Amino acid sequence: MDNWKARGGRALFLWLVLLAAISACAVHEPAGPAPAGPESLGTAPSGAAPSAPPPSARESLGPAPFKPEEIDALVAPIALYPDSLLAQVLMASTYPLEIVHAARWVKANPNVKGDAAVKAVQNEPWDTSVKSLVAFPQILKPMNDKIDWTQKLGDAFLAQQKDVFDAVQRLRARAQESGNLKSNEQQNVIVEQAPAGGGQTIVKIEPANAQVIYVPAYDPTVVYGGWGYPAYPPYYWPPYPAYYPGYYPGAGLAFGIGLVAAGAIFADCNSCWGGDDININSDRARNVDRNFDSSKLKNGERAGGRWQHDAGHRQGVAYRDNATRDKFAGAPGADSRSQYRGRGADAGNRMANSGRPGAGNRASVGDRGGVADRSSPGNMNRVGNDSRGSYGGGRDGAFSGVGGSGSVSQRDFDRGNRSMQGSGFNRPAGGGGMRGGGGRGGRR
């Protein structure tokens, strides 16, 4: 009997041990595959700091190139100028700060006109193309008043010269097809048909009288037979009444008063169409600027020199993109370090020639009396009379950090300089970059 009891007790004990083992296996059985989560997708563990994303290609390459329709909008107000005058406007647009100086000179000397005005600015330190425009105040004034447009035009011309010339030909063809571009007493319109094997039809515009230059004024939305790019409406300003008496909105080309200013012309566009270059007559250029240096042309002293941008006249205005900056900032005559940073060594003293006695050197591009004279009846307008006159985003103005904000820039520079000296770090004095500015589209 005792043996049966002993055997029963052992059996019960073994049974309990077996039940406990089965229960333990059920509790500790490994779970099935975990659902895909952040870590299974290759992201960093939750405890690790996320790495910064690599810079995008656009960030590393700078702003995107101008689109064809954007360039059309930029050149729309000037595409119907005579070829030689168009070439000189394009060259001068690459020196926006000197445009401001020249416009102030014209405003201070309203009775000096045409070739006489060109002779009067012989000693000014501006580029030859800028000096030539004092003979054409109806061009120089809007380039000054619409300085954001001027800088964008120059940026496009420096970076995409062929595209700018192509845009001019597209618009001239449209104006001709619309019946708004033809020969008359003021101009000769010459059409060179495309070769049989293909190519572009070339429309040239020359003065009817080489001694008298007429500058056409027009509404781009009218003369080009409408405008097909709603996202990029053309730049436009009403003609200044003093130069275009009798002009009325909606008219075709208005020529206004002819100017005896043949002495101001030194360029031609024989190489613009197809060759994508501007021809420079060095002898005529020296009539405009006795200090003209033909060695800075693309092919130097040889006859038929081709224009090349001179960064020495940029006066610290930043280039739009790295490629343009690298191409020109290291050219002869340029302070490459200052151009790299977007300002010249004399940025704090840029308006020394503004001719304002007792005003010191604080005059600036942002001086409202010089850049956007709001009392002028011809002040720039966009649709809705929005006078901001800019294009493409709520960024700083075209000359942010130059001139008018010079005292702030100088104070920041002095503070940084003291900090560097205190830390034992030394380097040549530099400057801060400037960004081209703009607002949104509208008719400019």
Encode the chain (444 residues) as per-residue pLDDT tens digits.
556 566 666 777 776 767 776 766 555 544 444 444 444 333 444 444 455 555 555 555 678 999 999 999 999 999 999 999 999 999 999 999 999 999 999 999 999 999 999 999 999 999 999 999 999 999 999 999 999 999 999 999 999 999 999 999 999 999 999 999 999 999 999 999 887 777 788 999 999 999 999 999 999 999 999 899 999 999 999 898 889 988 888 778 999 889 999 999 999 888 888 778 898 988 899 999 998 888 788 765 555 688 999 999 999 899 999 999 998 876 544 544 444 444 443 443 444 444 444 444 444 444 444 444 444 444 444 433 443 333 333 344 445 434 444 444 444 445 444 544 544 444 444 433 334 333 444 455
Backbone angles phi, psi at 340, to 5 degrees: -60, -40
DSSP letters of 231-282? TSPPP--PPPTTTSTT--TT-S-B--S-EE-GGG--EE-TTTTTT---EE-H
pTM to 2 decimal places: 0.66
What residues does each domain of the chain span?
60-345+364-423
DSSP 360: T
CA distance 407 to 17: 90
Cβ-contact 160, 129 below 8 angstroms: no
* 72 phi, psi to nearest 5 deg: -55, -45
